[in-house]
Amino acid sequence: PGADYLIIEPGGRVTVRPGAEINFTRREPWFFPVSRAGDDGARRELDSASAKILVYGSFSAAGTPASPVIFSGASFGGLHALGEGRIALRDCRLENSAACALTARDGAAAELERCSFASCRGGTEASGFSSLFLSDCLFSDSGGPALRLLDSSLSSASGCAVRGCAGPAVEA
């Protein structure tokens, strides 16, 4: 048996090496909601029907152009930095996410360099005073925007490309 969520607690650190493939599989028929209130009082909830990584500490995945880190699977529900969580990805591929592939929420931060997002429900999202920095990333064939900004969040994108995604490249 396994868990549908990997939770990296505050102070915890996980590092993924080049060439790793992380395949997400949903094992439990139930889920617990991860929700918060937005600046406007609206309820914001993570899609909880898929397996995911919840980061309150530090998560980094450093692939290489020849040996990327791959996140995929039938139940891939994304990587989510929450609170003081930090995510750093370099040379990674995020594929077929059933939810937004990467989010930073409630003061969290994410930095992505040379990452590709393919056939995901959504690309990246920042909300609740969070920050998201993207460099040379590619978003293709996604069901939503490549970058979504909500609730006083901040983002910087340089050298990124968006191809074949539904909706606008950036939604703010």
Show the tokens assigned to 13: 């650190």
Give the number of other Cβ atoms within 10 Å of residue 141's Cβ: 13
Give the number of other Cβ atoms within 10 Å of residue 123's Cβ: 30
CA atoms of 125 and 8, how far apart (whole Å) = 19
DSSP letter at 143 equals S
Which of 16-25, 32-41, 66-75, 123-132 has the lowest average pLDDT? 32-41
User: What number is the average pLDDT over the span 76-82?
Assistant: 92
Res. 110 pLDDT band, cuts 50 70 90: very high
- pLDDT of 40 above 70: no
Residue 103 CB contacts under 8 Å (≥ 6 apart), including other chains: 46, 78, 79, 80, 81, 110, 124, 125, 126, 127
Res. 31 pLDDT band, cuts 50 70 90: low
User: What pLDDT, on a 0 to 100 scale, did the predictor assign at position 27?
Assistant: 66
pLDDT over 90 percentage in the chain: 61
User: What pLDDT, on a 0 to 100 scale, did the predictor assign at position 1?
Assistant: 40
User: What number is the average pLDDT over the span 147-164?
Assistant: 92
DSSP letter at 118 equals E
Q: Are 155 and 134 in contact (CB under 8 A)?
A: yes
Say how many residues make up the chain: 172
pTM value? Answer: 0.89
